[in-house]
């Protein structure tokens, strides 16, 4: 594959801007039986025939559990100031509550110390989809007790690591877990509840708020969440398409942003469907944050079901049931990643400016906690062009007045890409899954050089 020309130097970002890369435990750690680690919902899901498209599983992944010194050395070479990783809940509290694995905590203790020795700030995410299977069997995020047990687990981790960790993230992408895990069954735990999955959204948000309280009690001074967001584009000006797009935007964007930022759900009828003392819960969910994390990949074009261009059966690797009241459509006229996702950097500017306009002073400083793309090859000029375009779009949003404090690339290395298995490569570092050898890609070298140039400014 031809390498595209390296673009010109990036615009100048503030000197205190945080540059980082992201990973998650379930996608890279492996060692699923080490140190008393309990089973996760993803261990069980991946073991079921037909769940993972290439028939693989995360038992080894990239073996980060054993090879973390090598990976920390890559971070140091890359020159990032921060590393966003996730703590595996079942590695620390094997059954989700009760007994704590000191061996599990010891691993993250070693990782944090190695990062600090390399001059890289650790940014742990407390939950990145790997619900302990023991809790899943009791209802998982559909039940309120999981939120309370999550807060207790957050306290355990903060007690051990809080003396060295400055920035914390509570949850990663509760929208995707709700939609893909509980609504459509495409991800663990594989339930197909459609709109009856909404309690999982509420309980994750409640868990977020309770975890913020637990972290504050341990002295944490910098806390955020990593929510996935993207602009929703309406397929046409028709009443049906507009209504469908509004509902999609409410469910994928506003449902997860507004309880956190505004202390309310965006729709009273929807709030009435949620379990528990919702008004009281919202006071917990809306704990003040120090920054708001946004994972951005692409916009979504949405119309009414059955409209011309509406996706039927499969969209972006996700099987869509016909009874959904909205239908994503393909966005034409843009290059695509190997995942088939459109590359639209200007939509990142649109998203950030719209958040600033919608939430005003209720929006804390923003950090882009994930942004990346899937491409094959080590000479990955397409990824360089993707990152360059999105960083320029980010700079434009900042010039328009959006307070953005940092940017994390997804991902440091190729990894287990959930239901896709090992078929999608998002990494700056290539992983040979037969030997687990790491090879920095052209995009790694480009970002390294770009960060060195930023540091000279």
The per-residue pLDDT for range 64-85, each reduced to its tens digit, is 999 999 999 999 999 999 999 9
Instruction: Establish whether 258 is an annotated binding residue.
Output: no
Instruction: With beta carbons less than 8 A apart as the criterion, state whether 148 and 155 touch.
Output: no
Tell me, yes or no, if 173 is annotated catalytic: yes
Q: Which listed residue (173, 176, 258, 382) is catalytic?
A: 173
370 assigned to active site:
yes
417 marked as part of a ligand binding site: yes
pLDDT at 309: 63
pLDDT band at 322 (very low <50, low <70, confident <90, very high): confident
Q: Does domain 18-456 have CATH number 3.20.20.80?
A: yes
Which strand ranges, in their side-by-side order, compose the sheet holding 327-329?
232-234, 300-303, 327-329
418 is an annotated ligand-binding site residue: yes
Q: Is 128 annotated as a binding residue?
A: yes
* pLDDT higher than threshold 70 for residue 416: yes
Closest CA to 154 of 204, 189, 202, 114: 204
Termini Cα distance of the chain: 34
H or E element in which residue 44 lies: helix 41-47
Catalytic residue among 176, 258, 350, 370: 370
The pLDDT of residue 1 is 41
pLDDT band at 318 (very low <50, low <70, confident <90, very high): confident
What is the value of pTM for the model shown? 0.97
- Determine the Cα–Cα distance for residues 44 and 21; give it in Å rounded to an integer: 28
Tokens 């990782």 sit at which residue? Answer: 111
Which ranges of 318-440 would DSSP assign to H, the alpha helix? Answer: 346-359, 381-399
Mean pLDDT of 333-340: 97
């Amino acid at each position: 594959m031809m390498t595209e020309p390296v673009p010109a130097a990036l615009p100048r970002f503030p000197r205190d801007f945080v540059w980082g890369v992201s990973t998650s435990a379930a996608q890279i750690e492996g060692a699923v039986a080490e140190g008393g680690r309990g089973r996760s919902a993803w261990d069980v899901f991946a073991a079921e025939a037909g769940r993972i498209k290439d028939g693989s599983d995360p038992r080894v992944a990239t073996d980060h559990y054993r090879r973390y010194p090598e990976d920390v050395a890559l971070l140091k070479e890359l020159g990032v100031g921060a590393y966003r990783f996730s703590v595996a809940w079942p590695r620390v509290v094997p059954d989700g509550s009760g007994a704590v694995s000191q061996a599990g905590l010891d691993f993250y203790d070693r990782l944090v110390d190695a990062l600090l020795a390399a001059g890289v700030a650790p940014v742990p995410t407390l939950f990145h989809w790997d619900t302990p299977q023991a809790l899943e069997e009791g209802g998982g995020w559909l039940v309120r007790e999981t939120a309370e047990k999550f807060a207790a687990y957050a306290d355990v981790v903060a007690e051990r690591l809080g003396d060295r960790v400055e920035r914390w993230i509570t949850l990663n992408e509760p929208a995707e877990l709700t939609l893909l895990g509980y609504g459509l069954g495409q991800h663990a735990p594989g339930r197909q509840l459609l709109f009856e999955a909404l309690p999982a959204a509420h309980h994750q948000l409640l868990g977020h708020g309770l975890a913020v309280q637990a972290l504050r009690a341990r002295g944490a001074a910098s806390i955020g969440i990593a929510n996935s967001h993207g602009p929703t584009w309406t397929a046409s000006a028709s009443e049906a398409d507009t209504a469908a797009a509004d509902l999609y935007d409410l469910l994928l964007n506003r449902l997860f942003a507004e309880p956190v930022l505004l202390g309310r759900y965006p729709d009273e009828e929807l709030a009435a469907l949620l379990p528990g003392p919702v008004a009281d819960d919202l006071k917990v969910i809306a704990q003040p944050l120090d920054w708001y994390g946004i994972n951005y990949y692409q916009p979504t074009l949405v119309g009414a079901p059955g409209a011309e261009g509406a996706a039927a059966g499969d969209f972006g690797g996700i099987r869509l049931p016909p009874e959904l009241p909205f239908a994503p459509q393909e966005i034409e006229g843009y290059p695509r990643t190997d995942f088939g996702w459109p590359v639209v950097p200007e939509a990142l500017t649109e998203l950030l400016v719209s958040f600033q306009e919608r939430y005003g002073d209720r929006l804390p400083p923003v950090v882009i906690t994930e942004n990346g793309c899937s491409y094959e090859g080590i000479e990955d000029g397409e990824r360089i062009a993707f990152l360059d375009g999105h960083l320029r779009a980010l700079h434009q949003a900042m010039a328009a007045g959006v307070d953005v404090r940092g940017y994390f690339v997804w991902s440091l290395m190729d990894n287990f890409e959930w239901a896709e298995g090992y078929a999608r490569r998002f990494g700056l570092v290539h992983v040979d899954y037969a030997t687990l050898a790491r090879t920095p890609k052209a995009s790694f070298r480009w970002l390294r050089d770009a960060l060195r140039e930023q540091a000279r400014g």
